[in-house]
Amino acid sequence: IIQVAAVAKFQTTNVVITKILGPEYVTTYNIAYKYFSAALLVLNIITTPYCSAFTEAYTVSDFQWIRKIMNQLRNLWYLCIVLLIIMLIYSKYIFNIWIGNDIEIPWKLSILMTINMILTTRYSMYITLINGIGKIRLQLITNLVLCTIFIPLSVFLAKNFGLEGITMANILVSLIYAIIAPVQGEKIINQTAKGIWDK
């Protein structure tokens, strides 16, 4: 259900762009998204093997090891921020090499994509921990609620701010994830998770 909600949100973005702004803007958005999501791809490649390791460590209550690994992943996130800023600085040059002059990627869109990916990589490493130990009920509820909110929010912002508005909607959703997931993750690591945080 979580994966379906995530896919639905991604597909909804393209539909909203097509209906509100026009199909030509879908290409612009997706090029910017694919470029900046390269940082997320690198992070996911590194963190994915930890998922099963977190499962094993949690089973034997090795919270010290979990805390150690999460500290390392936080340091990795700081490197992701640096990488994303470098990608932003050189984005116009790289876009020019990649797609030529046929499609122009607005500078504001690139800035907003950078912010969105900083937030996305932030919560992504905590999601690896949360998924690994199976405490996904809060994530499920959050996904369903935000997926429902995202559609009218993205339509409203797209009508008022164009393509950048769609990215703003994604930033607001990512911000909520980037708050909830680390809070739950830290509660689990510190063994203070109770109620919905521990399910």
State pLDDT tens for residues 78-123. Answer: 999 999 999 999 999 999 988 887 888 999 999 999 999 999 999 9
CB burial readout 83-118, b (16+ within 10 A) else e: bbeebbeebeeebeeeeeeeeebeeebbebbbbbbb
161-191 residue pLDDT tens: 999 999 999 999 999 999 999 999 999 999 9
* Percent of the chain residues past pLDDT 70, beyond the cut: 100
Determine whether 82 is exposed, middle or buried from the number of CB atoms within 10 Å of its CB (0-12, 13-18, 19+): exposed
How far apart are alpha carbons 103 and 42 in whole angstroms?
26
